[in-house]
Chain A
Amino acid sequence: MANVTLRNVRKTYPGGFEAIKGVNVDVGDGQFCVLVGPSGCGKSTLLRMVAGLETVTGGEIDIGGKVVNQVEPADRDIAMVFQNYALYPHMSVFNNMAYGLRNRGMKEAEIKARVEEAARVLELAPMLDRKPRQLSGGQRQRVAMGRAIVRQPKVFLFDEPLSNLDAKLRIAMRVEIRKLQRRLNTTSIYVTHDQLEAMTLADILVVMNGGQVEQIGNPLAIYEKPATTFVASFIGAPPMNLMSTRPDEIKSQLGGAGDAGILGIRPEDFVITDQTPAGGVALPLTVEAIERVGAETFVYGSRQQDDKRVAATPGELPPGEIIVRIPGSEAPPIGQKIRVAAVRQKLHLFSGDGRTRIEA
């Protein structure tokens, strides 16, 4: 049981590339922290620094009140689950889980008890004698989990542990991991680029971009009040619609707030209507494409003008295209002109460079 605190952590790789540019995160005891961000933003680097697999080139990493910058991975009292599981191919499932304990000189009886308990929890008991290659992907994933939990470490570290599983299993394992973590109440740091995983697992969500933290907080709070346009477009699927407030059509509707620069509206906050809610925004659209998912339908519409002044960031739509989410499967036909509107409370306003949120 321990806090993990990162103080102004930096990483410059040999060769001069600065992968982490000063990160501050505080994960409380027993909390589940998720690092999320696009590929290459430094999530794995940061996690591996906590594990002790990468050197820290600036700042401090503190686990349970002790600065561990110079401590060997084995002595940090952490356990890590790797994306490719990194099971020892030549060892049985039992030995895979027992290896770390044996290296610590634990009594064989105690090892057996711990491994069997973990195997029971993870439903691996019938497979203890098998080699990793005789297991399915999901079972291997559970062995990797088992290897982490038998250690009873202060901190679990996960680097995209579910990304090699198929969609269904991923959801099942996601729930498993969360349940297990709740029960063991072990501080955890979890890396993913899947924003759905991030939203569902996190107590604390850390959104990273380009080696920096964009926003930290409760996932729902981040969803409701993204601090930057990057966060706005990264968290939530499909992404938030971002548009310039410049066109007169929008500016006039927003009144004074029209100076903000960028307006964001989530697809689900639009309704198709001919009315314009007071203080809200209404847009005329031409329906370009329809995606029916069953319970909901996504309408892709284009605005008449093409405004290219808001640059596309990852996950964002090309300028001028708007996604509207409507419940059910009823949708207007392609080519039809519609009007969509969002109420005042659902508008997100950002400064022109997208770096700050403006509360209207």
Chain B
Amino acid sequence: MVEQEGFRRYVAHIVLWIGIAIVAFPVYVAIVASTQDNALIANGQMSLLPGGHFFEVYYQTIFVGTSGSTREPVANMMLNSLVMALLIAVGKIAISIISAYGIVYFRFPFRMPIFWIIFITLMLPVEVRIYPTYKIVADLHMLDSYAGLALPLIASATATLLFRQFFMTVPDELLEASRIDGAGPLRFFWDTLLPLSRTNMAALFVILFILGWNQYLWPLLITTRDDMQTIQIGIRKMMTTNDALTEWPIVMATAVLAMLPPVFVVVAMQKLFVRGLVETEK
């Protein structure tokens, strides 16, 4: 970057710090609130400094749950969310990379119509087709199951398009060299295309994992049992309509816990895709 004169640089920095403060403040409040006594918060006397109840609040949140409302330990909610987010992310990647492979590399009747049908589903997100989807899942007896949570969200036009775009940039000669080297379609896919898609898969995984983790409407509809609820639903249930009965430190602790896995995934995968970007293949 071009070196700027002192004054303007300070202004820029101040603006940036203000931005960070605005974004970070609610997170800070959540963390602080999760360490305080419920009575203080309920009275509106919450201090902005950390309280002394960190261990007991988190212990109760993770292993016991609230004393009123859902009573489900958050550890279990996190497990549910994790399974769902992983199934969605991995499932979406697997399905879409295979369908993109089919569309790009094979000539079959109605190839383009099929591609357009996939494309059009972009216009039909879960919210739009929620009733028929619910009906199907209910008829298949998949309410309150991981399959019911994840399957309907797995089909992905976006990821299919992304892989299709990527495959079209892979030089044809690689396929031809593979054919001469005696690799059939499956081998080419496994030995060449998948390794080349690694960075794309990592990037998609991050996005899709967070997408899955943050699902709200769908899990709300199809889970009825408390032991199948995801953390996002759990947070909502903990907040009863009567403000005084809400156990705010536990709600806040749950919110903080809900943030951790996405943060972890971003941090962990970021290394992988920065490395991927630096070592650009080809």
Q: Is B102 an interface residue (CB 8 A)?
A: no
* Chain B residues, CB < 8 A from A84: 171, 173
Find out whether the CB atom of A74 lies under 8 angstroms from the CB atom of B181: yes
* A99-B183 Cα distance, complex, nearest whole Å: 9
A88 touches B179 (CB 8 A): no
**Chain B residues with CB under 8 A of A103:** 181-183, 187
CB of B278, distance to nearest CB on chain A (Å): 11
B174 and A88 form a contact (CB under 8 A): yes
Interface check A51, CB cutoff 8 A: yes
Q: Is A79 an interface residue (CB 8 A)?
A: yes
Contact B180–A78 (Cβ < 8 Å): yes
A284 at the interface (CB under 8 A from B): no
Given A133-B279, A133-B282: A88 touches B192 (CB 8 Å cut-off): yes
Selected from B177, B182, B196, B280, the residue in CB contact (under 8 A) with A86 is B177
The answer to whether B192 and A74 touch across the interface, beta carbons within 8 angstroms, is no
CB atoms of B173 and A86 under 8 A apart: yes
Q: Determine the distance from Cα of A89 to Cα of B280 in the docked complex, in whole angstroms.
A: 9
What chain B residues lie within 8 Å of A147 (beta carbons)?
Answer: 177, 181
> For residue B195, which residues in chain A have a CB less than 8 angstroms away from its CB?
90
CA distance A83 to B282 in the complex (A): 14
B174 touches A79 (CB 8 A): no
Determine the chain B residues whose CB is within 8 A of the CB of A90 once the complex forms: 192, 195-196, 198, 281
B residues less than 8 Å from A133 (CB atoms): 279-282
Within 8 A of B (CB), among A51-99: 51-53, 72-74, 78-80, 82-84, 86-90, 99
Cβ of B181 and Cβ of A99 under 8 Å apart? yes
CB-nearest residue of chain B to A79: B180
- A48 CA to B198 CA in the complex, in Å? 30
Contacts of A238 on B, CB cut-off 8 Å? Answer: none
Q: Are the C-beta atoms of B181 and A100 separated by less than 8 Å? A: yes
Residues of A close to B282: CB separation below 8 A: 89, 133
Residues of chain A with a CB closer than 8 A to B196's CB = 89-90
The residue of chain A having its C-beta at the shortest distance from the C-beta of B279 within the complex is A133
The chain A residue with its CB closest to the CB of B281 is A89
Contact B173 A99 (CB under 8 A): no
Task: Decide yes or no whether A107 CB sits under 8 A from chain B.
Answer: no
Bound-state CA distance A72–B176 (Å) is: 11
CB closest residue in chain B, given A153: B180
- In the assembled complex, the CB of A1 is this many whole angstroms from the nearest CB of chain B, namely 19
Contacts A82-B173, A82-B177, A84-B171: A100 and B182 contacting too (C-beta < 8 A)? yes
- Residues on A with beta carbons closer than 8 Å to the beta carbon of B173: 82-84, 86
B177 CB contacts on chain A under 8 angstroms: 80, 82, 86-88, 147
- Bits for B136-174, please: 1 = Cβ < 8 Å to A, else 0: 000000000000000000000000000000000001011
Instruction: Name the B residues within 8 Å of A78 (CB-CB).
Output: 180
* Bound complex: CA A85 to CA B183 (Å): 17
**Smallest CB–CB gap between A81 and chain B, Å?**
10
The total of interchain contacts (Cβ-Cβ below 8 angstroms) comes to 63
Q: How large is the interface on B (under 10, 10 to 19, 20 to 34, 35 or more residues)?
A: 20 to 34
Q: Is A183 an interface residue (CB 8 A)?
A: no
> How far apart are the CA atoms of A72 and B185 in the complex, in Å?
13
A residues less than 8 Å from B181 (CB atoms): 74, 99-100, 103, 147
Interface residue count on the A side (C-beta < 8 Å): 24
Task: Give the residues in chain B near A99, CB-CB below 8 Å.
Answer: 181, 183, 191
Say whether A104 faces chain B, with CB atoms less than 8 Å apart.
yes
Q: Which residues of the other chain, B, contact A52 by a CB distance below 8 angstroms?
A: 179-180
Hey, which chain A residues are within 8 Å of B180, CB to CB?
A: 51-53, 73-74, 78-80, 100
Contact indicator B183/A82 (Cβ below 8 Å):
no
Q: With both chains docked as a complex, state the minimum distance between the C-beta of B257 and any C-beta of chain A, in angstroms.
A: 38
Among A51, A79, A89, the most chain B Cβ lie within 10 Å of the Cβ of A89
Cα distance, A272 to B180, chains bound together (Å):
55
CA distance A79 to B179 in the complex (A): 11
Q: What is the bound-complex CA distance between A53 and B180, given in angstroms?
A: 9
Residues of A within 8 A of B179 (CB): 52-53, 72-74
CA distance A121 to B281 in the complex (A): 27
Q: In the complex, what residue of chain B is closest to A89 when comparing beta carbons?
A: B281
Would you give the shortest CB distance from B204 to chain A, in whole angstroms? Answer: 18
**B281 cross-chain contacts in A, Cβ below 8 A:** 89-90, 133
The answer for the CA separation of A261 and B173 in the assembled complex, in Å, is 46
Whether A53 pairs with B176 at a CB distance below 8 angstroms is yes
Inside 8 A of A89's CB, which chain B residues have their CB?
196, 281-282
Chain B residues within CB distance 8 Å of chain A: 171, 173-174, 176-177, 179-183, 187, 191-192, 195-196, 198, 279-282
Give 19 CB contacts A-B under 8 Å.
A52-B179, A53-B176, A53-B179, A74-B182, A80-B180, A82-B176, A86-B177, A87-B177, A88-B191, A89-B196, A89-B281, A89-B282, A99-B181, A100-B180, A103-B181, A103-B187, A104-B182, A133-B280, A147-B177
Which residues does A use to contact B, with CB under 8 Å? 48, 51-53, 72-74, 78-80, 82-84, 86-90, 99-100, 103-104, 133, 147
Of all A-B residue pairs in the complex, the 5 with the closest CB atoms, nearest first, are: A86-B173, A100-B181, A74-B182, A103-B182, A89-B281
Given A52-B180, A82-B173, 12 other A-B residues pairs in contact with their CB atoms under 8 A: A53-B179, A73-B180, A74-B180, A78-B180, A80-B177, A83-B173, A86-B174, A89-B281, A90-B196, A99-B191, A100-B182, A103-B187
